[in-house]
């Protein structure tokens, strides 16, 4: 697909702007660019610290409510007639041993982290395709803020990973449905550790008292808890400002020699490095099972699906 040309007056629609990456991205765009920004949060009073300018629209948005999503998109189109960049940033973590997580908590994190982003993506695609050309701009960009936890899984985070893996798979499939002439681009933003309030206020704990079998401090989930609570361990995490600058630059300039927006963008040496290790291990594991795998069919089965994009 050809590179995307970001208009100087691009309209950015961003979810989860009360704190963290969303808040930092709104501040960066309003301070350093001529973009128009829709800053959203479940409670709009939490956006009071953000700049108030003619190019900023602050809206209430509950990503678990379809009526709230539709109302926010309608308000945006009424003001600026288009949306150029959708940033699905709203989300939270859930740290607990899987056995002790009530299904109500599992459903809740999927509703916020996956289904909210999926519905916003669905409803924004026709805006990119049909509304934007009337304003002289074809297509648009969807940034899905997943994390390296959308590609790799760690103990104590099973339902968080389920939500982020789901969003990554959803995004890859949708990206392959888009005709090139629609000029619609997708990128999964995959940060590693970032210095925000994610650990302290944006990560829920399992709703039940841990079973005695899980109290040993040497168990994996407990080691993760210690790591995330250690100032020394998190001291070298990425600054949120560096993350949002990278997000803006990937939309504005793309990556590689062709300047295309990549489907996935690891951010931070931890995300890039851990993903590289994971892919290398995956290739070794794939070779280990090759003999068993290829016993079940001949090469014709592979040839029959080569038309699919990888």
Kind plus residue range of the DSSP H or E element containing 118: helix 116-126
In the DSSP assignment, the letter for residue 197 is: S
* Cα(124)–Cα(64) distance, integer angstroms: 16
160 an active-site residue? yes
Helix (H, G, I), strand (E, B) or coil at 231: helix
| Helix, strand, coil percentages for the chain (3-state, nearest 5) | 50, 15, 35
Instruction: Identify whether the C-beta of residue 188 lies closer than 8 Å to the C-beta of residue 232.
Output: no
Instruction: Identify whether the C-beta of residue 24 lies closer than 8 Å to the C-beta of residue 191.
Output: no
Helix (H, G, I), strand (E, B) or coil at 300: helix
* Cα(307)–Cα(288) distance, integer angstroms: 27
Give 16-75 as a DSSP string. --SSHHHHHHHHHHHHHS--EEEEEESSGGGGTTS---TTEEEEE--TT-HHHHHHHHHH
Residue 226 CB neighbour total at 10 angstroms: 10
Options 4, 160, 198, 248, the catalytic residue:
160
Strands 11-14 and 56-60: unpaired
Name the residues annotated as catalytic: 160
């Amino acid at each position: 697909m050809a590179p995307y040309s970001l208009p100087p007056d691009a309209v950015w629609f961003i979810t989860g702007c009360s704190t963290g990456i969303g808040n930092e991205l709104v501040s960066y765009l309003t301070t350093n660019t001529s973009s128009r920004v829709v800053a959203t949060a479940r409670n709009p009073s939490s956006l009071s610290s953000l700049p108030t300018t003619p190019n900023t629209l602050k809206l209430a948005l509950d990503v678990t409510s379809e009526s709230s999503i539709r109302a926010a998109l309608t308000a945006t189109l009424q003001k600026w007639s288009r949306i150029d960049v959708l940033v699905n940033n709203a989300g939270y973590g859930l740290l607990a041993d899987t056995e002790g997580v009530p299904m109500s908590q599992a459903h809740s994190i999927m509703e916020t982290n996956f289904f909210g982003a999926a519905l916003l993506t669905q409803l924004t695609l026709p805006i990119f395709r049909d509304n934007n050309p009337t304003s002289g701009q074809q297509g648009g960009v969807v940034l899905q803020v997943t994390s390296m936890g959308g590609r790799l899984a760690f103990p104590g985070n099973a339902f968080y990973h389920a939500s982020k893996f789901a969003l990554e798979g959803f995004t890859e499939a949708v990206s392959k449905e888009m005709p090139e002439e629609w000029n619609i681009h997708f990128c999964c933003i995959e940060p590693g550790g970032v210095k925000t309030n994610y650990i302290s206020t944006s990560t829920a704990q399992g709703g039940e008292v841990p079973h005695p079998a899980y109290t040993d401090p040497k168990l994996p989930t407990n080691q993760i808890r210690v790591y995330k609570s250690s100032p020394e361990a998190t001291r070298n995490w990425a600054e949120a400002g560096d993350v949002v600058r990278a997000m803006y630059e990937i939309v504005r300039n793309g990556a590689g020699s062709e300047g295309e927006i990549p489907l996935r963008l690891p951010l931070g040496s931890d995300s890039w490095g851990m993903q590289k290790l994971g892919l290398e291990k995956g290739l070794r594991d794939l070779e280990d099972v090759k003999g068993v795998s290829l016993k079940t069919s001949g090469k014709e089965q592979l040839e029959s699906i080569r038309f699919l994009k990888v």
